[in-house]
Structure 1
Amino acid sequence: MLDRLAALVTARRTLVLVLSLLFCVMAGGLGATLTTRLSAGGFDVPDAESTRATRALSTHFDSGEPNLVLRVEAVGGVDGAEAVREGEALTRRLAAEPGVQQAVSYWTLAKDPALRSRSADSALVLAHLEGDEDQVGRYLDTLRPRYENPGHGLTVEFGGRAEVDRELNEQIQKDLMLAEALVLPLTLILLVFVFRGVIAALLPLALGVVAILGAFAALRLLTEVTDVSVFAINLTTGLGLGLGIDYSLFIVNRYREELAAGATVGDAIATSVRTAGRTVLYSAVTVALSLSALLLFPMYFLRSFAYAGIAVVAFAALSALVLLPALLAVLGTRVNTWSWTKRAKKPPARGFWSRLAGLVVRRPVPLATAAIVVLLLLGSPFLGVTLNLADERSLPPGAEAHRVGTALLHDYPARETDPVLVVADDSGPPAGRSGDIDAYAKRLSALDHVSRVDGWTGTYAGGRRIAPPTEAGGRYAAANGTWLSVVSSVDPYGDAGQKLVRDIRTAKAPFDVTTAGTASAFRDTMDALTGRMPYCLLLIAVTTFILLFLLTGSVVMPIKAIALNLLSLSATFGALVWVFQEGHLRWLIGDFTVTGGIVATTPIMVFCLAFGLSMDYEVFLLSRIKEEYDATGDTVTSVVRGLERTGGIVTAAAALVALVFLSFLTSGITYMKMLGLGLALAVVMDATVVRGVLVPAFMRLAGRFNWWAPAPLARLHRRIGLDERAGETDR
């Protein structure tokens, strides 16, 4: 099949290039509007209890958790006559705006002390904007110009979830431009040194651009039928460039070797596509299947990374197998133009990688033991991992929403913006159940870490009512239900905050209730992640096992690959905890806020992406080792020769891909820094410690058992497997 493809592309090279150019133009035009269709949300579980409660609050009560917070400073303090008058007017004006379902403030809630800063120089206005993230964003874009400079001695800062999402959208686009401005020239310089020539070095960038444009167009089409996270842009550019480098590096390098050996242009292309192209195709399937595991999770934030990743892998592989051979056919021997070496460099008989492999196969036990101990030590911080969700602390410290969030945490006595909302939307008319509501509110107010409970029947604390109903309390009632706001004194992500959610959900209630709010949403998110994670791991393990079995005919090699990848990734996760949860290396990584935890979705993203990329390199190495073993029947010789022939090129590819992902460290968003550092570490660790030490050590110890499979599976592989003896391999 690949031979026929190479022949067709070579013969129709001009047509392929023209069609590719037209595709880039159309995809670029379609993808140009992508950023306007993306959302900054996607962390909520669609059918979870907290989501249903939030929906009921909006639908039945025209209310909800405050997603817009205005921190209002007043000259002379917030209790001055003019400040009170202007604060009340600002709140009433905001409440009447389109899209604002509710707005209250320190001044309209009888000077509630919880909404005034300890220094009395600022107070809060809490509002709920209706709709999904996109609708909320549009309302906020309209509101900001009207309220950011109110005058009359007041100054306003915006915070809350709505403002966080708006600033995340802006920040991600700034980050993308900065990362591209840095990584593209640096990558080109390194590619020139790797290929030892300018023309050859431009080919990976061309493939990366085509893959990125194609993925952008695919994502734009997907936005017509589903939500897509704005953070998919970063993955698309990073992975597109990285895979463009990976795939073209192997094919172009093989093509130049064939030319150096005296092959014609046509024969060199055919051999390159048949050998390196086959491995590229196999690797692309492996990476895509690993990324598809993200589709198992219900949050569209994670699913968006699967959409982006699968699209960019598909276009990168298609470009490598179709566009790149056409370009090579046009360039011919001119691929070596502006090169300081006209012949592909062949590995010496006793190069670095063969010497390393020789050392490892002579002393497999001590070297493998040392490598495993190092990886386990690096991974040990992950045992103390604490998880949370993305909030304003993920933004740069100077961001407006971040400043407001910091002020709420340190200057205000209670967590007014993070209440647990208890919703009874089908409990009957509140007037007929006032006694039940009163008793239930008292019960909730007596729970640990509850500062106050607000409801239709009054305000409660310490198991008793401390204030009678007020006019503002009418917002807690609807025709056929009621809701309560439980203000806590603890971090919603911490153990105490999560215990409070469990206590509220299990407390005896006179009617059916559901809970919403930050703490409830986090509980539901963690339940969804832990519930789906076993299926994610099973899917990746099974597909990896099948694909590597088809490649090698062994059941031992897939198990070895999965085990070593898990070991390598544990070190990566440990590094993420050590850096971002514990706050080390901020001078190197870039300034970020240490929250005492890491965003819960980040390890899952890193796992799926890094596992796929590591399998990419596994395929390249095993393909060569298997060919050598088929030719010699000697395990030691095949390992040494296989590592020598692939070690240098895999390391170069890994270094370039790591550089692309390290560009994410320039992001102002903390969890994008986490993703970039995690992927870069995983790629480097896999290409060095795992491929350089653990794989040859394991294969030396396993000997002929490396290629063992039960007789039925061996017969199956002979029928449907990828037989390396049918042709040359990737190197």
Structure 2
Amino acid sequence: MSLAALIALPVPFLRSIGFTGLLIPLVSVVVALTLLPALLLTVGHKLEWPHRRSGSAESRLWRRIGGFVVAHRWSSAVVALAILVVLAIPAFSMRLADPTNSSLASTGGPAGAAIERVESAGLGDGLTKPVEIVTDRPGEVVAALRGDDQVAGLTAPDTWVSGTNHVVDAWTHDDVSTGSGSDAAAHIRSVAEGLGADVGGLAAQNSDFIDAVYGNVWWVVLLIIVVTFILLAIALRSIVLPLKALLLNIFSIAAAYGVMVWIWQDGHGTELLFNQQASGAITVWIPIAVFAFLFGLSMDYEVFLLSRIREAHDEGASTDDATVTGVARTGRLVTSAALILFLAFISLSQVPATDVKILATGLALGIILDATLVRGVLAPALVAALGDVNWWVPTWWPKSKNSSHHDSQSTTPSR
């Protein structure tokens, strides 16, 4: 469902990511339901060679962690939530644009050297990202922009003509990926469009992308949330648990955004970690891509944990005991899965492209935050704190045989 958000957006390359990404879980489900059982039946215990695990499937470490969190549920929840909120604060200053020239120049190579020469030429950092103006009245456009304080230069060669259409390039003093440069590019666009011209270029493209994607993404996100809630409510047989899972997902993704902005846009640790300057902005398509991937991955971890807690509760355990059991039984599995993804995204961050580095950073840190702070502390703390409220459903909601038996036998409410 989270990858389906990309398919609904009016941008072809995001749609292609969505379609391709959907194939991964679909193929995985088919393999898990067909090939994997057949392999287990034919090969069996030989797959465990050279190590065969004995004893309980629970993790003693995660049982101790779960017990501590349940015993200190409110303080654990407050501390974990406070950390997520602090990490999310930089996200409110997120600026969507391409990486600045300074960031690209610091990557080295011929392209980086060329950008450095352009910057040192004194023609304005916006030279590499001009505002492209197509007009049948080039003289009026040039006259309107010449002498404008926000315009570093203009060019309109006679060879840039097709029929009655002429191309006029205007560039800004500052890089259009910076706040001042973006404002200047918007001003140039306003003046040119006021004269009936069509305006393109990187700044205009990013502005149109933001309007097209983020201006309409709210209904896509709302649809995902509603469908996810329905699926989780059916699976967990609860109204409260799905609401809590969705709420925690919001905090988790917001924290990932904040850390991504703090590192790349604000430049804290960028040179230490990646040996290059800060990007100065977050590439326009990255937040929606990070949302699509992190929403699905984070919800996976929530389902692992909450479904195990639900099973333990149906078997007769109190909410507190069920929560500790759920953490103990899923801790090793979720941690291993998160580490695999974390290392995969860390490897991806070594790609020279700054855009890919930003994406990999957001995904890697988001996965670690969710698998540890959210799934290991905040989620079980809130389940324990809410107690029997977790299992509330409307009177018309169908109950399973196990949960009905537990409800009829249980006389002592959990803490």
TM-score normalised to structure 1 length: 0.51
Matching residue's letter, 1:352: L
Match of 2:121 in 1: 411
Distance 1:682 1:595 in 2: 19
Match of 2:296 in 1: 612
Match of 2:213 in 1: 529
**8 Å contact from structure 1 (residues 440, 510) kept in 2:** no
| Deviation, structure 1 residue 385 | 2.4
| Deviation, structure 1 residue 636 | 1.4
**8 Å contact from structure 2 (residues 233, 239) kept in 1:** yes
Q: Deviations over 1:659-695 (max 9, x none)?
A: 2222113222222222223222222221211122111
Which structure would you say has the larger Rg? 1
| Deviation, structure 1 residue 333 | 2.5
Go from structure 1 to structure 2 and tell me whether the alpha carbon gap of 1:314 and 1:363 turns closer, same or farther (over 3 Å shift): same
Distance 1:369 1:476 in 2: 62
Q: Deviations over 1:508-565 (max 9, x none)?
A: 8685321011221122122223213313321331222121111112221111111111
Go from structure 1 to structure 2 and tell me whether the alpha carbon gap of 1:506 and 1:585 turns closer, same or farther (over 3 Å shift): closer
Matching residue's letter, 2:26: A
**8 Å contact from structure 2 (residues 100, 178) kept in 1:** no
**8 Å contact from structure 1 (residues 635, 703) kept in 2:** yes
1:657 aligns with one of 331, 341, 349 = 341
SS at match of 2:238: coil
Go from structure 1 to structure 2 and tell me whether the alpha carbon gap of 1:540 and 1:507 turns closer, same or farther (over 3 Å shift): same
Match of 2:5 in 1: 293
Aligned length: 402
Q: Unaligned regions of 5+ residues in structure 1, if any? A: 1-288, 431-436, 456-472, 727-731
Go from structure 1 to structure 2 and tell me whether the alpha carbon gap of 1:679 and 1:440 turns closer, same or farther (over 3 Å shift): closer
Go from structure 1 to structure 2 and tell me whether the alpha carbon gap of 1:510 and 1:598 turns closer, same or farther (over 3 Å shift): closer
Q: Unaligned regions of 5+ residues in structure 2, if any? A: 405-415
**8 Å contact from structure 1 (residues 450, 487) kept in 2:** yes
Match of 1:400 in 2: 110
Match of 1:423 in 2: 134
1:559 aligns with one of 243, 260, 263 = 243
Matching residue's letter, 1:292: A
Distance 1:638 1:323 in 2: 32
The alignment status of 1:540 with 2:249, answered yes or no, reads no
Match of 2:17 in 1: 305
Distance 2:312 2:273 in 1: 42
| Deviation, structure 1 residue 394 | 5.0
Note the 1:123-134 alignment, pairs <5 A.
Answer: none
Distance 2:193 2:325 in 1: 71
Q: Deviations over 1:556-577 (max 9, x none)?
A: 1111111111212222222212
**8 Å contact from structure 2 (residues 131, 189) kept in 1:** no
Match of 1:453 in 2: 154
Matching residue's letter, 2:110: E
Answer 1 or 2: higher relative contact order, Cα 8 Å, separation at least 6. 2
Matching residue's letter, 2:98: L
Go from structure 1 to structure 2 and tell me whether the alpha carbon gap of 1:536 and 1:409 turns closer, same or farther (over 3 Å shift): farther
**8 Å contact from structure 1 (residues 449, 490) kept in 2:** no
SS at match of 2:34: helix
Match of 1:475 in 2: 159
Distance 1:702 1:525 in 2: 42
Matching residue's letter, 1:690: V
Match of 1:644 in 2: 328
Note the 1:207-286 alignment, pairs <5 A.
Answer: none
Bigger drift between 586-595 and 372-381 goes to 586-595
2:372 aligns with one of 665, 671, 688 = 688
Go from structure 1 to structure 2 and tell me whether the alpha carbon gap of 1:704 and 1:593 turns closer, same or farther (over 3 Å shift): same
Matching residue's letter, 2:17: F
Go from structure 1 to structure 2 and tell me whether the alpha carbon gap of 1:710 and 1:489 turns closer, same or farther (over 3 Å shift): same
| Deviation, structure 1 residue 707 | 2.0
| Deviation, structure 1 residue 657 | 2.4
| Deviation, structure 1 residue 368 | 0.8
Bigger drift between 687-696 and 375-384 goes to 375-384
Matching residue's letter, 2:333: I
| Deviation, structure 1 residue 613 | 0.6
The alignment status of 1:385 with 2:69, answered yes or no, reads no
Matching residue's letter, 2:226: V
Match of 1:376 in 2: 85
Go from structure 1 to structure 2 and tell me whether the alpha carbon gap of 1:710 and 1:338 turns closer, same or farther (over 3 Å shift): same
Matching residue's letter, 1:293: A
TM-score normalised to structure 2 length: 0.87
Question: Matched residues, percent identical?
Answer: 33
Match of 1:442 in 2: 143
Note the 1:21-32 alignment, pairs <5 A.
Answer: none
Distance 2:31 2:346 in 1: 24
**8 Å contact from structure 1 (residues 445, 451) kept in 2:** no
Match of 1:365 in 2: 74
Bigger drift between 297-306 and 569-578 goes to 297-306
Go from structure 1 to structure 2 and tell me whether the alpha carbon gap of 1:391 and 1:710 turns closer, same or farther (over 3 Å shift): same
| Deviation, structure 1 residue 396 | 7.0
Go from structure 1 to structure 2 and tell me whether the alpha carbon gap of 1:544 and 1:394 turns closer, same or farther (over 3 Å shift): farther
SS at match of 1:654: helix
Note the 1:321-336 alignment, pairs <5 A.
Answer: 321-336=33-48
Go from structure 1 to structure 2 and tell me whether the alpha carbon gap of 1:317 and 1:507 turns closer, same or farther (over 3 Å shift): same
Q: Deviations over 1:645-669 (max 9, x none)?
A: 2122222222222222221132222
SS at match of 1:290: coil
Go from structure 1 to structure 2 and tell me whether the alpha carbon gap of 1:678 and 1:292 turns closer, same or farther (over 3 Å shift): same
**8 Å contact from structure 1 (residues 498, 523) kept in 2:** no
